[in-house]
Amino acid sequence: MTRATENSLSNDLRAVLDGRWADTRDLVREHIQTRGLVPKAGVPLAEYRAEMLEHMRAMVPLGFPAQGFSSADGDPGDPGAAITAIETLGYGDLSLMVKAGVQWGLFGGAVENLGTESHHEQYRQGLIDLDVIGCFAMTESGHGSDVQRLETTATYLPETGEFEINSPTPSSRKDYIGGAGEHARYAALFAQLITAGPGEEPVSHGVHCFVVPIRDADGDDLPGVTTSDCGYKGGLPGVDNGRILFDHVRIPRTALLNRYADVAEDGTYSSSIESDNRRFFTMLGTLVRGRVTVGASGGAAGRLALAIAVKYALRRRQFESPGDDGELLLLDYRAHQRRLLPLVARAYAFAVAQNEVTEQLHEIQSVPPGDADPDHVRRLETMAAAIKVGHTDLASYAAIEARTACGGAGYMSENRLPLIRDDLDVFTTFEGDNLVLTQLVAKHLLTSYASEVDELDTVGWVRFAAAMARDVALEKSAVRQVVQTVLDSSGEDPEDSDLTNPETQLRLFTAREDHLVRTVAARLRRANDDDADEFEVFTQTQDHLLQVGRAHIDLLALQALVDAIEKLPESPARDTLETVRDLFVYSTLEDNLGWYLMHRHVSVERGKAIRRGVNELCARLRPVAGDLVDAFGVPEVALDVPMLTSDAATV
């Protein structure tokens, strides 16, 4: 679309970022451009929401909503394309991305992955075409991160062959549910399944998912259902978040999405997975696509914010320029380079890592569910969580910094940075709170991705980790084989080696992760002591555990960037990406310099060189800063803001 007018450096860089589903990206870019899909301020909620629904309807013929689903004849669709399409909406309006993600990703994903043939027949075409609009009713007012403890009940009544859905307490109210405020007619509802076989006492089998109608064709609440509207939020005005209370609502037995468990007419419960917790986390695992999509589209919006800020810094002049009458561009100042360019470098690393997550998910979801390698699935879950955290933390921070770096102009809604910031803010919370997910990543790492881990409570996990900790510390393998080979082939002493050497870079990142894992493992082993209080051990270790997660997130991003560069032929794009990688590495080291110095992985002299290096790398990227953000391929309409077009902003 805008490619013809750009130079070959930015085209080559864009090819790297666009990755395998470049055509899908272009399709959505074009859609954003022609429909003028940009966030707006001051539109009344009802109007904004209705507009988003219209935009969704316009996307159906583009085909990617259907690509997210397998067809009746077993064609697995194209999950990678479906995710990439939603990701690219991050260059448009995140309200639309979230509404589309709820419908096709979360609600659709629940029906697709947790349901069986009858559910697919009943709902699949309708939810693709938007005849069936649904929401994803998991979170409750009292429980967000701790979903095993949801309070909503679905009690099977054998006398009528129905489940009765109920909200027993104020805190069991479904809350913040996208679509529940207005448009959703159905809910993929998560509730404790309670049933009894003949002659048994009713018992809960843990959380299961049901398709529950909540509104009639006129949009009125069905009997027993009480929805309410969350109203204004910190952003995402086009998303109708709402609350749902159920008062003994009856649904048929077949409303249970029964791929992993079923209830017979007589109330007998059956499942191929014995443990309630493991079953629940297996179900959750199939919904990983939502987490991947949120990381991807959040990342795209972060790139948009950076593109706006860098382009402004390339036209806005401030203070006198020595030697001539003009003033300097903002991006000529070192302080301005330092606030934006390391974020651009990080955005490259995470964009590439995100593409890899999407590819892996695509591979796994392109084969029948049972055929995927469980170990691969497990590692994907960890990587999806890790990249979701890294990408959304980066994006949220980048949007805030972009606003600030554009001063007063950046605060005007017409220039969109505040809207992007507002919409992005919650990306660090939904689809898994980033702090909780960082902890999850660390837990997976510490217990060699054992599938038991998610099911354990804190105390249980500490016991398990303490038992495993010795082995983990010795044979942990967070590093991929390809990278390991690179490392093994090098005999260099990191301290003497060149910090721009990717081997050295990987060594430093890996050393941090290894060291942290080993020392956390040592702390956890104390839980083996007879008088140990496991919760106390956990509390004492929590901030250390979070460091493990953060180190792993950075390492994953670096590995992905190193891999991506290795695949490129010698070219200006490759040279530029190497400088981008160096800046990502140097600025990450600088951010963690205290740790590296304290643990003697970096000497004082090298520490000073790192600080200087960030400055030098910023200066080296300054001349190509425009190319770097052009390569994001942001549609022109998203950059058509007064501060990038008006004469008034420049002197």
Which residues are annotated as catalytic? 431
DSSP lists the bridge partners of residue 195 as 203
Q: Which stretch binds a second copy (CB under 8 A): 313-321, 487-495, 496-504, 550-558?
A: 313-321
Among 412, 450, 467, 532, binds a second copy (CB under 8 A): 412
Element spanning 467, H or E? helix 458-475
Mask for 518-537, x = binds a second copy (CB under 8 A): ---------------xxx--
Per CB under 8 A, the list member of 170, 202, 219, 252 interacting with a second copy is 170
Q: Applying CB under 8 A, does 226 fall inside the site for a second copy?
A: no
User: Token pair for residue 609?
Assistant: 């060189």
**Span of 2-10, 82-90, 253-261, 321-329 interacting with a second copy by CB under 8 A:** 321-329
Residue from 359, 363, 433, 495 in contact with a second copy (CB under 8 A):
433
SS3 (DSSP) at 387:
helix
Tell me the site size for a second copy, rule CB under 8 A. 88
Residue 217 interacts with a second copy (CB under 8 A)? no
Contacts 24+ apart (CB under 8 A), 587-592: 587/342, 587/345, 587/346, 587/614, 588/346, 588/509, 588/554, 588/558, 589/508, 590/614, 592/512
Closest Cα partner for 406 from 393, 423, 418?
418
Placement of tokens 């493991």 in the chain: 278
Spatial CB neighbours of 443, under 8 Å, sequence gap ≥ 6 = 453, 461, 465, 545
Query: Which residue in the set 546, 563, 572, 578 belongs to the binding site for a second copy (CB under 8 A)?
Result: 546
Which CA distances in Å does 513 have to 475, 516, 645?
13, 5, 45
Q: Considering only residues 6, 363, 414, 575, which one is a binding residue for a second copy as defined by CB under 8 A?
A: 414
The Cα–Cα gap between 472 and 521 comes to 8
The answer to whether residue 78 forms part of the interface with a second copy (CB under 8 A) is no
Site for a second copy in 584-643 (CB under 8 A): 590, 592-594, 596-598, 600, 604, 607-608, 615
DSSP 202: P
By the 8 A CB rule, do 627 and 13 touch? yes
Residues 227-266 that bind a second copy (CB under 8 A): 230-235
Asked whether position 647 contacts a second copy by CB under 8 A, the answer is: yes
Choose which of 176, 190, 312, 464 interacts with a second copy (CB under 8 A): 176
Q: Is 91 in the site for a second copy (CB under 8 A)?
A: no
CA distance 550 to 439: 9
Find the binding residues for a second copy in span 38-67 (CB under 8 A).
41-42, 45
* 324 touches a second copy (CB under 8 A): no
Choices 46-54, 213-221, 432-440, 626-634; region in contact with a second copy by CB under 8 A: 432-440
Q: Does 426 bind a second copy (CB under 8 A)?
A: yes
Q: Which is nearer to a second copy, 253 or 512 (CB)?
A: 512
CB of 501 to a second copy, least distance (A): 22
CB of 49 to a second copy, least distance (A): 13
**Residues in 574-593 at the binding interface with a second copy, rule: CB under 8 A:** 590, 592-593
DSSP code, position 103:
I
Residue number, 229 or 262, with CB nearest to a second copy: 229
Q: Give the residue with the Cβ less far from a second copy, 175 or 514.
A: 175
403 binds a second copy (CB under 8 A): yes
Nearest to 314 by CA among 616, 626, 580, 649: 626
Structure tokens at 626: 């425009």
Q: How would you classify the pairing of strands 134-137 and 186-195? A: parallel
Q: Are the C-beta atoms of 547 and 516 separated by less than 8 Å?
A: yes
Distance in Å, CB of 527 to a second copy, minimum? 12
Residue 22 makes contact with a second copy by CB under 8 A: no
Q: In this chain, which of 34, 160, 169, 645 binds a second copy, going by CB under 8 A?
A: 169
Token reading at 11: 């085209």
Which ranges in 526-651 belong to alpha helices (H)?
534-566, 572-591, 593-598, 604-621, 625-630, 642-645
- As measured in angstroms, the least distance from the Cβ of 293 to a second copy is 18
**Of 5-13, 37-45, 104-112, 343-351, which segment contacts a second copy by CB under 8 A?**
37-45
Q: Which is nearer to a second copy, 203 or 335 (CB)?
A: 335
Shortest separation between residue 631's beta carbon and a second copy, angstroms: 26
Task: Tell me how long the chain is.
Answer: 651
Q: Both tokens of residue 587?
A: 């600025």
Listed residue (189, 262, 192) closest to 222, CA to CA: 189
Side-chain half-sphere CA neighbours of 14 within 13 A: 23
Q: Find the binder of a second copy among 459, 487, 511, 637 (CB under 8 A).
A: 459
Binders of a second copy in range 325-344 (CB under 8 A): 327, 332-335, 338-339
- Choosing from 518, 532, 542, 563, the residue that interacts with a second copy (CB under 8 A) is 542
